[in-house]
Every structure is written in C-alpha cells, then in structure tokens.
Amino acid sequence: MKIAVLGTGYVGLSTGVCLSEIGHHVTCMDINEQKIQQLNQGISPIYEPGLEELLSLNMNAGRLNFTTSLSTGIAGAEIIIIAVGTPQADNGAADLTYLEQAAEDLAPYLVQGSIVVIKSTVPVGTNDRIKKLIESQTNFEIHMVSNPEFLRQGSAISDTLKADRIIIGSENKDAAEKVKAMYLPLNVPVILTSTKSAEMIKYASNAFLAMKISYINEIANLCEAFGADVEDVAKGMGMDKRIGEAFLKAGIGYGGSCFPKDVKALLHTASQIGLNFWLLKETIAINEFQRELLVKKAVKRFGDLQGLKIAMLGLAFKPETDDMREAPSIKLAEALSKLGADTIAYDPVATENAKKVIGETIKYANSIDKAISDADAVFIVTEWETVKQINLPDMLHKMKQPIIFDGRNCLSEENIKTCKKVEYYPVGKPAIIIV
Ligand SMILES: NC(=O)c1ccc[n+]([C@@H]2O[C@H](COP(=O)([O-])OP(=O)(O)OC[C@H]3O[C@@H](n4cnc5c(N)ncnc54)[C@H](O)[C@@H]3O)[C@@H](O)[C@H]2O)c1
C-alpha cells in the first residue's frame, strides 16, 4: 500500500520505518526541515536501537521517503497517518495545537473517502472533532480511524513489529478493514472498536501502568520502613496471573513523554464532567514524592549536602533512549543544586538533550570514571547496562566516600556484599552497610 505519515518523531518515524519494512511504500513528512534533511541522508534524528539500520535498508529498497512537502507525500496515499505530538497544556489537558494544525495542513490534499488515521494519543472525542474540522474545509466526507500507539522508546522497533495488539477504532467499517489490512503482515491480534473506545483504551492503559508503578513505589516505602524487601514482594505478587509481573519495579518514579502527560490528560477529561479521579491524583502525588527520593535519603544520611560531590549516573528517563522529557533526573538535579551539592552527571546518550533542560546548574562528565572520581556519593538514576555492569570495587576505590543510592535497584546485591567497605541504599529494600 502507499502510506503517508505526518510527524517523524519517536512514533511517526518508528511507524513509517516499520511499515516500509513490511513492504509498504511510505512517505514520512515533518514541518521540521532539519529532521527531513537528516533523514534524507539516512541519519536518524533520535536515538532508538535498530532504527537507523532499518531506515537505510528501506530507503535503499526505495520503499521509504522523506519530505516536507505535503502535496508530494499525500498524493495517492491510501492511508494518511498523523503522529504529531500532543504535549501537556498548562491546565493538564492534552494540547492539540499540533494535531489541529496538521489536520488543517493536510485537508487541501485529501479526496473524497480519504482515510485519516490518528496515531497520536488524543482525548476521547478528538477523532470526531478532527473529522469536522477537516470536512469544514473540504466539501466531501473523509473517514477517521483511531489507531493509538503503544510502543516503548528504547524498544520501539520490536514493539511495533511484535505488538501485543493493534487497536483500530472507526465508525466506517471499510476504513477500519483497510487499516487492518495494512497491519496484516505483522500477524498481531487486532481489536476493532469505535473511535471513542480506541481513544479511551490508550489513556486507560497508560494511566493503569502509571498507577501500577506508583502502587509498587508506595509498597516499597512501606517495605523500607518495616524491613521487608520490595523485590521479593513484587515477585510474590507478580506470579499471580491476575496481577502480572510487569511494571512492579520499585524506583524513583515514572517519567518520559507519555505517562506523566497522559495521566494528567485523563484526569482533565474526568474533571470536565465533574468526576474526581482520586486514584489518578494519588498516582501523580506518589510519583512526585518518589522523584526526589534519593535526595531525601542523602539528606537523611549526610544531614547537609552543601559542598558534597554527588555523581548522578544516568540522565535519560529510561535506558536506551536520549529522551529527557519528564526525566526524574531533572527534579533530582534541581533539588541537589538548591541544597548546594556539587553535582556531576554522566549519561551515555542523553547529555546533550539534558543540557538543554537542566542547564548549567550541574556539571556533565563524558565517562562514568570522571563522574564518580572523588564523589561523596553516587546516585543511580537510569539503569543503563554500563551502569549495571560497573566494576564496583574499582568505582568505590575512586570515590571519596563509598556511598551508593540506587534509585533503580539495578546493582547486584551479591556483588555489593563482597565489597570491603560500602554503604548501599536501594529502594524498598534493607540497606547494606559494610564498614
Ligand atoms: N514517544 C512515545 O513513546 C509514544 C508512545 C505512544 C504514543 N505516543 C504518542 O504519539 C504522539 C507523538 O509522540 P512522539 O513522541 O513521536 O512526538 P515527537 O515530539 O517526538 O514528534 C512529533 C513530530 O511531529 C512533528 N510535527 C508537528 N507538527 C507537525 C505538522 N503540522 N506536520 C508534520 N509534522 C509535524 C514535529 O516536528 C515532530 O517531529 C504523541 O501523541 C504521543 O503521546 C508516544
């Protein structure tokens, strides 16, 4: 099929690349000329494992093109996918400015019966609104399909090619079947539903996962106070099929471009009909508390952080991505600098993005070694493989004080216990102190 994709961010680009990989002819469009220029040279503007290889492969095969011109991209397209950003507005709602702009931009190039798919995460009722907006500019009917995306950054390609399910919501059966046919080569279970249910499935899923994280984090805080081990508790809970083991990893809270804004947007949707969604309010409150947990632990341990050298290992909101949106490291850096700590951070890929968000309130190192040398304490913020595999005796030897606050419970306790001198503070588990 000939497919057009609007927006070449994490979702649009991964989608476009994967659709070309399964044999479709895809043209990806963006208003950002620099991104399109880079993509035309086979360079991915984002860090996503495996993406750049598939990008070149499918460009060379002549199935994948990039342009800023909508007339070129949309001409003859059987399906037009919108994957532009829907960030958080000041009042917590989803900001649909980019989406509305994209809809207005593409309207002149549509034809009677065009199929417009919204892949961006949008509040219930948005597909109907966008249909009206487009049809107010055309004199013919178009068909909307809600097809929310569930990929995770860091594993976007495999998540797309091996999705758990594909949600297709439309009021037009033929349009829904056409989109289903587009995904047929993936051989993934498909749920056909209404546009409103499809829109709601996305928010209900993300809010549930965020709630699961906040739930286990609150259990972790209880475990810590009473001497239980949250990892054993999570394992014991997760083996119950009704609960499931995923998203029961205690730590310093969720971040990224989706959970924080999607939970707030669903809360906003609820508030529009006067519904107080207490569960979501608590999910957010617990997450806010959790993000500064390492600073609270350090203050408890040291009393005063003024002048102490703190090494932050990891800045990205999770491993295998350079995305800094709502990363817990931002709040940690702010809190540390307020308390007068001398913070130096290392991240294998997110440093440049981090500088734009955190700025010069902290220093940045280009290796773990440089970050930890002479440090009074290490904060583990992102569980990068290089951090998990760190040579502990070597690291502790280079630090001024052998103190580790592990916000991701990612160091091996067995290894910690073999150290000669260490203070190890994980989340929701007893500390290991060897003096
Ligand atoms: N990032 C994720 O992991 C993820 C996962 C699932 C769903 N989503 C949802 O998918 C959507 C996109 O997210 P993202 O992370 O890919 O966003 P992003 O910010 O990385 O990318 C959005 C892209 O859209 C482009 N754009 C904006 N307006 C445009 C227009 N009028 N025409 C063409 N291009 C335009 C921007 O230049 C940018 O390149 C959001 O609604 C998000 O909530 C994201």
Which one of 31, 84, 126, 159 would you pick to mutate in the ligand 1 pocket, going by the greatest count of ligand atoms within 8 A of its CB?
A: 84
Domain end residue (candidates: 137, 160, 193): 193
CATH at residue 58: 3.40.50.720
| Residue (of 255, 246, 266) closest to 407 by Cα position | 255
What is the model's pLDDT at position 135? 97
> Could you report the per-residue pLDDT of 133-170, keeping only the tens digit for each?
999 999 899 999 999 999 999 999 999 999 999 999 99
297 phi, psi to nearest 5 deg: -65, -40
Q: Which of 193, 228, 254 is the last residue of a domain?
A: 193
Question: What's the whole-number mean pLDDT along residues 87-110?
Answer: 97
Specify the pLDDT at position 266. Answer: 98
Q: What's 264's domain CATH number? A: 1.10.1040.10
What is residue 309's predicted lDDT score, i.e. its pLDDT?
Answer: 98
Confidence of residue 10 (pLDDT cuts 50, 70, 90): very high
Q: How far is Cα 390 from Cα 409, in angstroms, rounded to an integer?
A: 14
CA 120 / ligand 1 centre spacing (Å)? 7
Q: Are residues 96 and 169 in the same domain?
A: yes
- With beta carbons less than 8 A apart as the criterion, state whether 341 and 310 touch: yes
Phi/psi at 360 (nearest 5 deg)?
-95, 15
As a whole number of Å, the end-to-end CA separation of the chain is 66
- Name which residue sits closest to atom 7 of ligand 1, judged by CA: 149
283 with 386, same domain? no
* 393 shares a domain with 278: no
Q: Could you read off the pLDDT of 54-74 as tens digits, one per residue?
A: 999 999 999 999 999 999 999
Question: Ligand 1: distance of its center to the CA of 11 in Å?
Answer: 6
Q: In this predicted structure, what is the pLDDT of residue 417? A: 96
Please give the number of the atom of ligand 1 that sits closest to the Cα of 6. Answer: 33
**DSSP secondary structure letter of residue 363:** E
Query: Domain check: are 320 and 354 in the same one?
Result: yes
Q: Which residues are catalytic?
A: 258
Domain match, 206 and 137 both: no
Q: Do 285 and 297 fall within a single domain?
A: no
pLDDT recorded at residue 37: 98
Q: Tens of pLDDT along 220-235?
A: 999 999 999 999 999 9
Q: What is the mean pLDDT of the chain?
A: 97
pLDDT of residue 312: 98
Q: Does 187 lie in the same domain as 281?
A: no
Same domain flag for 162 and 18:
yes
pLDDT score recorded for residue 430: 96
Please give the single-letter amino acid code of residue 197: S
User: With bands split at pLDDT 50, 70 and 90, how would you rate the model's confidence at 405?
Assistant: very high
**Residue 55: C-alpha distances to residues 191, 319, 406 (Å):** 28, 22, 36
| Separation between Cα atoms, residue 377 and residue 402, nearest integer Å | 7
pLDDT band at 297 (very low <50, low <70, confident <90, very high): very high
Query: Do 138 and 284 reside in the same domain of the chain?
Result: no
Average of per-residue pLDDT across 179-183: 98
The stretch 299-310 carries a mean pLDDT of 97
Q: Return d(Cα 148, Cα 202) in angstroms, integer.
A: 6
156 CA to centre of ligand 1 in angstroms: 13
- Considering the domain architecture, whether residues 303 and 406 belong to the same structural domain is answered as yes
Number of domains in the chain: 3
Q: How confident is the model at residue 108 (pLDDT cuts 50, 70, 90)?
A: very high
Q: Where are the beta strands (DSSP E) in 233-372?
A: 309-313, 342-346, 363-364
Residue 425 pLDDT: 98
Residue nearest to atom 12 of ligand 1 (CA): 85
Label residue 92 by pLDDT band (50, 70, 90): very high
pLDDT in tens, 324-334: 999 999 999 99
Q: What is the mean pLDDT of residues 171-190?
A: 98
Question: Domain check: are 410 and 274 in the same one?
Answer: no
**Domain housing 247:** 202-289
- What is the mean pLDDT of the segment spanning 34-44? 97
Task: Among 5, 8, 10, say which to mutate for ligand 1: greatest number of ligand atoms within 8 Å of CB.
Answer: 10
Among residues 164, 193, 222, the one where a domain terminates is 193
**Rounded distance from Cα 121 to ligand 1 centre (Å):** 9
Q: What is the pTM of this model?
A: 0.94
Q: Clarify whether residues 225 and 349 are in a common domain.
A: no
